[in-house]
Amino acid sequence: MPERLVVIGGDAAGMTAASQARRRRGPDDLEIVAFERGRFTSYSACGIPYWVSDTVKTREELIARTPEVFRSTFAIDVRTRSEVVGLDLARRCVRVRALAEDREYDERFDSLVIATGSVPMRPPVPGIDAAGVYGVQTLEDGVELRAEFDSGRVHRVVVVGGGYIGLEIAEAARIREVDVAVVDLAATPIGTFDPDIGRFVADAVRGLGIDLVLSDGVAEVLVTDGRASGVRTASGR
């Protein structure tokens, strides 16, 4: 029986590990199974704001390799919509929930790679989990956010966080001709930059017609009829 490598996570790190393992060992010697909670593999998460803005025209342009390519070309058993919910080291198996079928099963492994990435931090404020509040981490997030813009009901956007992704989403909203405000605790955007550089960035962002609310945090997401309708900052704005 060939050895089995299980990979948890189907984006850049996980599928790179799976592909490199396949280059070293053939399918008769090593079985490779990769589990991905979402529907997509090997995509450019950094490109999501540019797809939302329609600068990138299609979702497929963000995908380097589809699950079908990994299966047919690399002999990697990619299982999308499959969330690993448990790990048993003694039995050397993972517990998998097949989301589309709502069932769970065990899958054995000889070697295991965990490449799940991180969970974005949301400020612990009331209303943060209401409908109409979106993150931008996975391509699934991009699908939901773009659909929201395409609905025609979005007229104003508040972006919480003035880092790279926050400013890219704010710019995408302006390209979509939507009013947008960015709220950030820091005195200047992109806190990894020195303040003098941050001030140049702030001027450029304001030049795009984006309202910058700086040195102020989000205290509450206002909710109307179960849906986010505004943001109240710590200063009362």
46 carries an active-site annotation: yes
What is the C-alpha separation between 5 and 31, in angstroms, rounded? 6
* Structure tokens that stand for 37 in this block: 């909670």
What is the C-alpha separation between 220 and 209, in angstroms, rounded? 24
In contact, 22 and 32? CB cutoff 8 Å: yes
Q: Could you say which DSSP state residue 153 is in?
A: -
* Helix (H) or strand (E) segment spanning residue 139: helix 139-150
What are the C-alpha distances in Å from 20 to residues 12, 34, 52, 112, 205?
Answer: 12, 13, 32, 14, 41
Annotated active-site residue in 2, 27, 46, 147: 46
SS3 labels along 162-217: CCHHHHHHHHHHHHCCCEEEEECCCCCCCCCCCHHHHHHHHHHHHHCCCEEECCCC
What is the C-alpha separation between 2 and 45, in angstroms, rounded? 34
Question: Distance of alpha carbon 32 from its chain centroid, rounded?
Answer: 25
SS3 labels along 45-113: HHHHHHHHCCCCCCHHHHECCCHHHHHHHHCCEEEECEEEEEEECCCCEEEEEECCCCEEEEEECCEEE
Active-site residue numbers? 46
